[in-house]
A = this chain, B = another copy of it.
Amino acid sequence: MSGSSYGTIFKITTWGESHGAALGMVIDGCPAGLNLTEEDVQAYLNRRRPGYSQFSTPRKESDTVEILSGIFNGKTTGTPISMLVRNTSERSGDYSDIAEYYRPGHADYTFDQKYGFRDYRGGGRSSGRETIGRVAAGAVAAKILKELGITFTTYVSSIGDISIKRELFDASYIQKNELNMPDPESYQAAAEYLSDVMAENDSIGSSVECAVHGVPAGLGEPVFDKLDACLAKAIMSIGAVKAVEIGDGTEVSKHKGSYNNDAFQSTNGIITKATNHSGGILGGISDGSDILLRAHFKATPSIASRQQTVKQSGEQIDIHIRGRHDPIIGPRAVVVVESMAAITLLDMLLQNMSARLDKIKTFYQR
Using a CB-CB cutoff of 8 Å, which residues 92-114 of chain A contact chain B? 102, 104-107, 109-111, 113-114
Other-chain contact of A107, B234, B256, B282 (Cβ < 8 Å): B282
Give the docked Cα–Cα distance between A220 and B237 (Å). Answer: 11
Q: Which of A43-51, A57-65, A357-365 contacts B (4 or more CB under 8 A)?
A: A357-365
Task: Say yes or no: A79 contacts B224, CB within 8 Å.
Answer: no
Contact residues in B for A220 (Cβ distance below 8 Å): 3, 110, 114
Between A and B, 25 residue pairs with Cβ closer than 8 Å are A1-B10, A3-B223, A13-B13, A24-B68, A109-B271, A109-B282, A110-B218, A111-B222, A114-B218, A126-B222, A126-B283, A148-B364, A158-B253, A200-B258, A202-B256, A203-B258, A205-B253, A216-B364, A242-B252, A250-B250, A255-B298, A255-B299, A257-B300, A260-B301, A266-B314
Contact residues in B for A228 (Cβ distance below 8 Å): 236, 241-242
Other-chain contact of A353, B32, B244, B360, B366 (Cβ < 8 Å): B360
Of chain B, the residue at the smallest CB distance from A131 is B223
Give the docked Cα–Cα distance between A309 and B272 (Å). Answer: 10
Task: Say yes or no: A105 contacts B262, CB within 8 Å.
Answer: yes
Q: Which of A70-78, A164-172, A180-188 contacts B (4 or more CB under 8 A)?
A: A70-78
Contact residues in B for A298 (Cβ distance below 8 Å): 248, 252-253, 255, 257, 260, 277
Given contacts A5-B28, A223-B4, A283-B126, contact A244 B265 (CB under 8 A): no
Other-chain contact of A261, B105, B216, B246 (Cβ < 8 Å): B105
Other-chain contact of A79, B4, B200, B230, B282 (Cβ < 8 Å): B4
Other-chain contact of A307, B68, B261, B277, B296 (Cβ < 8 Å): B261
Given contacts A3-B222, A107-B284, A364-B148, contact A308 B265 (CB under 8 A): yes
Task: Say yes or no: A223 contacts B297, CB within 8 Å.
Answer: no
Against B, the Cβ 8 Å flags (1 = close, 0 = not) of A4-20 are 11101111011111001
Other-chain contact of A257, B105, B264, B285 (Cβ < 8 Å): B105
Contact residues in B for A6 (Cβ distance below 8 Å): 224
Is A195 interfacial (CB-CB < 8 Å)? no
Which 7 pairs, one residue from A and one from B, show the smallest C-beta to C-beta distance? A107-B283, A3-B221, A3-B225, A110-B285, A233-B233, A229-B237, A15-B80
Task: Say yes or no: B355 contacts A360, CB within 8 Å.
Answer: no
Contact residues in B for A197 (Cβ distance below 8 Å): 256
Is A338 interfacial (CB-CB < 8 Å)? no
Contact residues in B for A353 (Cβ distance below 8 Å): 350, 353-354, 360, 363
Task: Say yes or no: B15 contacts A303, CB within 8 Å.
Answer: no
Is A287 interfacial (CB-CB < 8 Å)? yes
Give the docked Cα–Cα distance between A203 and B259 (Å). Answer: 10
Of chain B, the residue at the smallest CB distance from A19 is B72
Give the docked Cα–Cα distance between A31 and B205 (Å). Answer: 34
Contact residues in B for A90 (Cβ distance below 8 Å): none
Other-chain contact of A357, B2, B32, B105, B256 (Cβ < 8 Å): B32
* Closest beta carbon of chain B to A150's beta carbon, Å: 9
Is A130 interfacial (CB-CB < 8 Å)? yes
Given contacts A79-B125, A310-B264, A363-B353, contact A68 B104 (CB under 8 A): no
Task: Say yes or no: A303 contacts B257, CB within 8 Å.
Answer: yes
Contact residues in B for A282 (Cβ distance below 8 Å): 105-107, 109-110
Other-chain contact of A31, B241, B254, B351, B357 (Cβ < 8 Å): B357
